[in-house]
């Protein structure tokens, strides 16, 4: 444990000097062969005093899940099924509180497929048709909406992507509204962004301009998930199919793919670099295992 912790502190020193310049750092050939061993490594990385101890972040999607599947207490990389493409994105850009960094560690790669994808936000911003960014600004930015219902009063036909707020907040069915409010406030939501109806259904909304100013350079970065095709503009206007298609096409033009092998660790600046994943063969004899950790929690505005 102590030796792996020392590896973590050394890895921290290795990437700290480069990440601000490159936006992403890939370390290959690290010795951790299990999630448990990676946990010791990560704790060493977090505790490293140079330049200062890390503050860990916590994952929360727009969906009804309370989090990701875990292995030895460490988050698995994604809940997206192997056969589906995971488009490049910035982690939790849709929440009031996001993370400044996301790190992916490969315990086991897939026998076929599963390449990791990365893309620089600044490249997207410079290459997108002006009509796309104009549309976002003219309509006030982006509206992110989630709907969660009371587990004790479930609707006959729950909205797609919805679920009980008790589950989302990691509470039992006897969880209270007050506990849920505290959970969402910890995520950065305000009372004004939480709308409860008489049936205990909670609608959460937050508006984001769709851009983020690079804290180092002052450059305006493209920072949203419009390309998923299921998001509306702040004034409720659906994004036209052409806008979505232009974003997806431009994104692929600036996307790089590579295979993470066992022992590889990818560290991304979540503000400046997107990440994603190609589909892969789900083989019980060689199951892909990618772990995820987060740090630098920060406001998404």
pLDDT tens digits for 175-233? 999 999 999 999 999 999 999 999 999 999 999 999 999 988 899 999 999 999 889 99
Q: Three-class SS string for the chain? A: CHHHHHHHHHHHHHHHHHHHHHCEEEECCCCCCCHHHHHHHHHHHHHCCCCCCCCECCCCCCCCCCCCCEECCEEECCCCCCCCCEEEECCCCCCCEEEEEEEEEEEECCCCECCEEEEEHHHHHHHCCHHHHHHHHHCCCEEEEEEEECCCCCCCCCCCCCEEHHHHCCCCCCCCHHHHHHHHHHCCCCHHHEEECCCCCEEEEEEECCEEECCCCCCEEECCCHHHCCCEECCCCECCHHHHHHHHHHHHHCEEEECCCCCCEEEEECCCEEEEECCECCECCECCEEEEEEEEEEECC
pLDDT tens digits for 126-181? 999 999 999 999 999 999 999 999 999 999 888 888 999 999 999 988 999 999 99
Instruction: Give dist(CA 299, CA 25) in Å, integer.
Output: 23
CA distances from 38 to 107, 270, 293, 296 (A): 9, 21, 10, 19
pLDDT tens digits for 246-287? 999 999 999 999 999 999 999 999 999 999 999 999 999 999
**Taking a C-beta distance cutoff of 8 angstroms, is the pair 12, 27 a contact?**
no
Residue 11 burial (C-beta neighbours within 10 Å; 0-12, 13-18, 19+): buried
Residue 20 has pLDDT above 90, yes or no: no
pLDDT tens digits for 65-118? 999 999 999 999 988 999 999 999 999 999 999 999 999 999 999 999 999 999
Closest Cα to residue 65, out of 163, 184, 144? 163
CA angle, 160 then 246 then 233, to 5°: 50
| Bridge pairing between strands 163-164 and 142-149 | parallel
State the pLDDT at residue 43.
96
**Taking a C-beta distance cutoff of 8 angstroms, is the pair 107, 33 a contact?**
yes
Closest Cα to residue 224, out of 255, 258, 251? 251
Residue 244 has pLDDT above 90, yes or no: yes
Global confidence as pTM: 0.94
User: Token pair of 87, please?
Assistant: 């488009």
Instruction: Give dist(CA 196, CA 251) in Å, integer.
Output: 37
């Amino acid at each position: 444990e102590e030796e792996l912790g020392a590896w973590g502190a050394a890895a921290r020193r290795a990437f700290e000097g480069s990440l601000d310049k490159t936006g992403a750092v890939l370390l290959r050939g690290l010795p951790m062969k299990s999630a448990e061993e990676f946990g010791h490594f990560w704790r060493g990385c977090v505790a490293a005093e140079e330049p200062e101890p890390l503050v860990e972040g916590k994952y929360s999607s727009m969906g009804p899940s309370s989090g990701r599947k875990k292995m030895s207490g460490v988050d698995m990389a994604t809940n997206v099924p192997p056969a589906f493409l995971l488009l490049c994105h910035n982690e939790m850009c849709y929440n009031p509180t996001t993370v400044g960094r996301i790190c992916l560690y490969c315990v086991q790669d897939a026998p076929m497929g599963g390449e990791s994808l990365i893309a620089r936000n600044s490249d997207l911003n410079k290459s997108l048709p002006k009509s796309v960014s104009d549309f976002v600004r003219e309509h006030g930015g982006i509206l992110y909406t989630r709907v969660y219902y009371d587990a004790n009063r479930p609707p006959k036909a729950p909205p797609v992507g919805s679920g009980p707020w008790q589950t989302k907040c990691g509470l039992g069915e006897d969880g209270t509204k007050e506990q849920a409010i505290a959970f969402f406030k910890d995520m950065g939501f305000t009372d004004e962004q939480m709308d409860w109806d008489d049936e205990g259904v909670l609608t959460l909304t937050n508006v984001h301009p769709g851009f983020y100013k690079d804290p180092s350079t002052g450059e305006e970065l493209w920072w949203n998930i419009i390309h998923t095709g299921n998001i509306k503009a702040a004034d409720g206007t659906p994004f036209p199919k052409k806008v979505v298609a232009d974003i997806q096409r431009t994104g692929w033009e600036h996307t790089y793919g590579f295979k993470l092998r066992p022992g590889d660790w990818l560290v991304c600046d979540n503000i400046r670099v997107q990440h994603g994943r190609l589909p892969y063969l789900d083989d019980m004899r060689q199951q892909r295992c990618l772990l995820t950790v987060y740090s630098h929690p920060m406001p998404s505005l």
